[in-house]
Amino acid sequence: MTEVFPIDARVSYIRGILAIIKGNGGSASLSHITRESLEGIDEIFPVIEAAKILGLVTVEEGVVSLTDSAKDLSQKELKKDLSDLLKNVEPFKSIIEFLWKAHRASTEELFDVLLKKNFMTQINRTSDIEKFRKEMLGLLVRTEICSYDARKDSWKLYESKD
């Protein structure tokens, strides 16, 4: 079964969790992480799961440890490294493949692509699509995987300006 990145795991939270663990010598208990981050376990768990899917942490008996690759990351390089890692996990891999072929897509089109692949669930289409847009802005735009034109509700793969 394909592991799917929890789209509600924000990039800034992943950075924060990695910093807490790094500052604690490379491993920390879940309770220590929740205390340090001032977040509850319900907010922290998807972030830790996301970091695990990206290969940045391991979790064993309530202790979260940095992987060797995460130990070598600097906060300065983290945005680019996260971008590279996200491109290889679902649902981002499917979004990139779709945009590579279509060149542009609306939020609803991207949502439907992931819905058809069972990476998303739909309870209330309008609010789910709006939540999806918000989460994708925080993940895809912040990591420079995609660009988004809010006036046209149009997504495309990010093109470097340099």
Closest CA to 46 of 123, 138, 112: 138
With vertex at residue 24, the alpha carbon angle to CA 79 and CA 19, rounded to the nearest 5 degrees, is: 15
Tokens of 121: 């669930």
Render pLDDT for 51-67 as a digit per residue (tens, 0 to 9).
999 999 999 998 999 99
**Domain boundaries along the sequence of the chain:** 11-71, 90-157
69-73 long-range Cβ contacts below 8 angstroms, 24+ apart: 70/18, 71/22, 71/26, 73/18
**Residue 44: Cβ-neighbour burial (10 angstroms; 0-12, 13-18, 19+):** buried
Q: How far is Cα of residue 155 from the mean position of the Cα atoms in its chain? A: 17
pLDDT at 9 over 80: yes
Mean pLDDT (whole number) for 142-158:
93
Topology of domain 90-157 in CATH is: Arc Repressor Mutant, subunit A (1.10.10)
C-alpha 67/C-alpha 92 separation (Å) is 22
User: Do the first three CATH levels of 11-71 and 90-157 match, i.e. the same topology?
Assistant: yes
Q: Which CATH architecture has domain 11-71?
A: Orthogonal Bundle (1.10)
pTM assigned to the model: 0.82
